Each structure stands twice: as structure tokens, then as C-alpha cells.
Amino acid sequence: MISIGSFQQLGRAIMLPMVVLPAAAIFLSLSQLPWDMVGLPGMSGYLQAASGAVFMFLPYIFAVGIALGMTGNALSAGMAALVGMFIYEGITGSVEAQIEPTVLIGTIIGVASGISHAQFKNLKLPEYIQFFGGPRFVPLFVSFISLIFSIGMVGVAPYLQRLLIDLGDIVASGGGFGVFLYGFVHRILVVFGLHHLVSHVFWFQIGGFETAAGEMVYGDLPRFFAGDPTAGSFMAGMYPTMMFALPAIAFAIIHEAREDLKPKIRKTFMYAALSSFLTGVTEPVEFAFLFVAPYLYVVHALLSGIIMWVTYELGIKHGFSFSGGAIDYLINEHLATRGWLLIPIGIVVGLVYYFLFRWAIRKFRIPTPGREEGSQLDEWAGDIPYRAPLILQAIGGKQNIVQMESCITRLRLKVSNEKLIDTNSLRNLGAAGVIKLGGGHVQVVFGTYSELIREEMSKTIKRDQAQVLFNSPMQGRMIPLEEVPDPIFAGKLVGQGVAFIPDRGELVSPVKGVVIHIYPTMHAIGIRTEEGLEVLLHIGIDTSKLAGKSYFNAVVKEGDEVVPGMLLIRFDLQRVKKESKSLATPMVITNSDLVHSWRFAPFKAVKKGQSSVLSVVLKERNGGGEAQ
């Protein structure tokens, strides 16, 4: 059965070929400059030719890009798609009524190559022809598929091309409501990462335009850059949303944050607002309120559709090569119709969004970031190499990952067991949201750091270092060991680690191991892990004096085997807090000489048993370097 998650891979794959389009738009824009005045009279022609070449070979770019995107950059799939396109053009170009390849054809052949790679990459043939087995079989198979497909298309392609033009006329006949509906559906599908699929239809398939050279181009985006005066309706309305509406939401979130958190929230959301304004990357802002106020997101989607309707009724035509940000707006303004109107419209939209969201956040007490229980959204690019192993643990470890890819703003995963994913840990590690689409398909929104995170996670998996992963031993707040009000622990004389301020009277095991010691007062416990690390958990400071009054009650005994999350000790939180120096609970490794390197999660609120609060890489047993 096909789930929604089954389409996310295609949605991500479609984005890969689209990254070349900004180059074409920039070349076309630069060609308008007065190159004759600087002694380069032929430069305009070269730039126009370069831009035209990108659009001319767009079907090939989509075929190869989608094939690579669906297979994790498998070269055999890319080669299969390229050969398939050559076969298609060779056959269709040999008939009397020549048929031009379109992005739709490129998409079909790209998808076929990706699926073929998944089916045959491990194919075993008899030994004497095994050379053609495995990935090498994919181009061969797709060649025959393309041959049959191309012969069939000779008969149906003219009707299909006519259908695309007629479909464009039908969509156009829907007027402003059709544009509104597209805008609304597009924003809703952003939640699932499937918006590229619906955009692909409108931007690259629907509607046809014959250029001055007699070539047919299809879709709102190629038609806009080819000079079609009717193109741009399905892109123009996105500029006010991305350049003004989303930044306005970011400012509303900043201004509704608590005073003590405003400096941090301001930094985070100013970056998010700038990203949306300049490049049209909206997820960091949208996911800040999506999960805590989904009804507000529906309102946002409706408003986005209305904005597109308004721009349509005003006759505004504008386009972009990547997204509706200021960079694309400026580069492509010379091709727009009444594009200047998008600025005053955007200012009005920004004001409406700002006051609407400030009112809604305050009226309905929406826990956006910076308020009491706001979601996590950090600026932590420099921490990526350190957090990647913790993110990997929160996903369930490398054994839980079937497939891992990334797009502009999110990790796209297929996992063996969705239940192993620790959503709270991922949020604590910087994720703006976690979306489970079914069938093991999961998306984790990390904003524009997603690709860097995927790369670091891949490095971690390949290194396969000997490391020990720690869960949170209690619910509360994690703090650096240096903040513990005790010179022995703060000075790391007992060992290196972290500490916690509990808000519940339960201590659970952070690791898998064996209980090696329980202090008579039961205020501290020692655990030895399978790797030989000795972990000390010490509830509170100066609590050894709290004896004989039932402050602590251990539910395990020495020699017991424990696993992460297993209850170790119950304690009377209020009495311990009243009669001890501090509730700070250190978790330290007393034989830290076995540890090569340390990775700490952000020092924030944690839940009992939450994964990915600490990770340590062990030294090699012979004492030299990292374990490989």
C-alpha cells in the first residue's frame, strides 16, 4: 500500500534539478547589462545562449536529477536516465512530426530509472554474465524500457502535448479561484514536504507557449522565462508571502517572547526572517507555530491563497527560478508584468500578518519559541559535528535507518521502527519539527542545516567509532558540570560529565550496564557499562548526611542489570530540596581516562529517559587514537 511518505522521496528528488535554474535566471538577467560599453559586445549573446541552453536541456536535467535524487546519487541510475532520454529523442525525432522532449518526459524516465535501480541494484546473474548484473543492469534495462516507451509516445505524444495545453486553458478558466486553490494546497503540502509535486505540475507541465524560434515550452516557469506574457500567475503571489508575511510572523514571535529570552529568540528569528525574505526558505518560521497552533497554520494557508488571488486579479505576472525571495524578485523583475505592485501589496500583507499573529499568540496563549513552553529552534551551525551523533541516536541509531536523504530544509528518512525516534530529543537538538508520514517515512525539519547534518551523520556512520550514548537520568534541566555548587564535582575531580536539576523525584538509568555500588543512604549509585565506563549518579549536593529518614528509596540492588530509562531510585524531591545544599545531580564518568572525546546536547529542559543528552567516543584499547 502506498502511503503519503512514499511520495516524499520523489518530492525531494525534484528539488535536485531545480537548483540549476537560478543560474539560467542570473545569466538571462545579466544579459540585459550594457556589455558593449565595457568592450564585450558578444557577452550578451553568450549569456542568453547559456540561459537558453539550461531551459533547452531541462528535460535531460530533470531526468538525471530525479534519478540521482531517488537513489542517493547512484551513477548507474543517472546514466540510465541520460541514455533513456537520448533514446527517446532519437526515436521521436526520427518521425515526420518531430516530438520535442518535455520536463514531463524527463520526469517519467527519471522516475523509471530510480525505480529500476531500487529493483535491480542487487541483481545476481549467472557467473558468466554477472558483469551485467547489479547496478550495471540498470542502464541496460532502462534502455529497453525507453525504447518501448518512445515507440508508444510516437503515437500518443501529440495528443498528450495538446492535452497539456488544454489543461492549461482549463486551469486558466478557473481564474482567480484556481490560483487561490493552488496557493492554499501548496502551503498545506509544505507540512508534508510534498509541495514540490504539485508545484512541478503547474510550473513545468501545464500550459504551452511557442517561442519565436518555433520551439514549444510547457509550464508556468519555462513559459515565463521564454517571454510568454500570460505566464507567472502561479508564482507572482508567492512573493508577498515569502518576502513579507513570513518575516512578519518572525517579528511577531520575537516581540511576544519573554523578556529574558528575547535576545536569543531575536537572533534566531532574525536569521529565519532574513532567510525567508532573501531566498524564500520559509520552513524555519512556519514550523515554529505549526505544531503548537495547527489551526493558525490553516489560516496562514488560506491567506496565502487569497494573496495569490489578489495578485492574479491585479494582472501581476512574475516568476522565479528557485523561490519567491528578494533575490529572485530583483533578478527577474525585468521580465515581470506590473511586478512593482508586489512591494506595496507585500507591505500591507506584512502588517496584517504581524498584528494578526501577535494578537493570536497572546489571545490563545500559543507557546511559540521564547514563551513558556516554546518549541526549540536554535542557531547552532558550529555545533553540527558535535550534535550529529546525538541526532543519530535520537533517530534510533544507524541500525534504524533504511534510507537517509536531505532537501533544503529537512532530513528525509525511512526508518525500520518509527517508535524508536525520540521526538523530544530531536527538538532539544535543534529540530523545528518532526513529521511521521507512515510506512517508516519521517521528516525532521532542521532548516537550511539539514544537508550539513546529513553529511555529518553519514561520516559518523562510516567511522563506526566505539562510543557510549547516554539518556537523561531524570526529568528537569541539564546544566554544565561547572555550574554544580560543589568544588569537587565542578572541578571535575570525580570525573567529567554533566548535571541535572530535577523537577520529579525519580532517577532512571542513563545507560545499559550493571549496578556496581549503591551508597548506604541511597543518594548515589554507580553503574558499569558494557564498554567498561563507570558512571556515578549523585542526587543533590551534601545529601550524604540525609540518612535514616527515607529521603531515598533504591528499587534496584548491586549486581542488577539495568537498561536506559529503568527506574533506579525514588526520592522525596521537596524534602531533599529543603534540607540539602542543592538539587543539582551530577552524572559523571569516574574513569574518564577511557574517553577520547565528548559531545554534549544543548543544556535545556529534558524528559526522563530522553535520549541523546551525552555521547562519548572511547579510546582504542591499545591506547592510541580514536576507535575506527
C-alpha grid cell, residue 487? 568544588
Spatial neighbors of 255 by CB under 8 A, at least 6 apart, are: 358
CB atoms inside a 10 Å sphere around CB 326 = 18
CA angle 479, 481, 482 (to 5 degrees): 105
The x, y and z cell numbers of residue 267, run together, are 537572533
381 is catalytic: no
- Count the neighbouring beta carbons within 10 Å of the beta carbon of residue 143: 14
Residue identified by cell 542513563 is 510
Residue among 407, 408, 490, 546 flagged as catalytic = 407
Contacts with 297 (C-beta within 8 Å, 6 or more apart), sequence order:
191, 286, 289, 290
| Residue 367 DSSP SS3 | coil
| Contact yes or no for 346/46 (Cβ under 8 A) | no
Report the C-alpha gap between 370 and 368 in whole angstroms. Answer: 6
- Count of C-beta atoms within a 10 Å radius of residue 292: 21
Here the cell at position 85 is 532520454
Which residue bears the cell 549569456? 47
- DSSP β-bridge partners for residue 615: 469, 599
Q: How many helices (H) and strands (E) does the chain have?
A: 23, 20
463 CB-contact burial (10 Å; exposed 0-12 / middle 13-18 / buried 19+): middle
- Quote the CA–CA distance of 229 and 244 in Å, as a whole number: 26
Query: Does residue 218 contact residue 204 with C-beta atoms inside 8 Å?
Result: yes
Q: Under 8 Å CB-to-CB from 57, ≥6 apart: which residues?
A: none
Which residues sit opposite 476 in a β-bridge?
502, 606
Angle, in degrees to the nearest 10, between helices 294-313 and 342-363:
160
Residues with a known catalytic role: 407
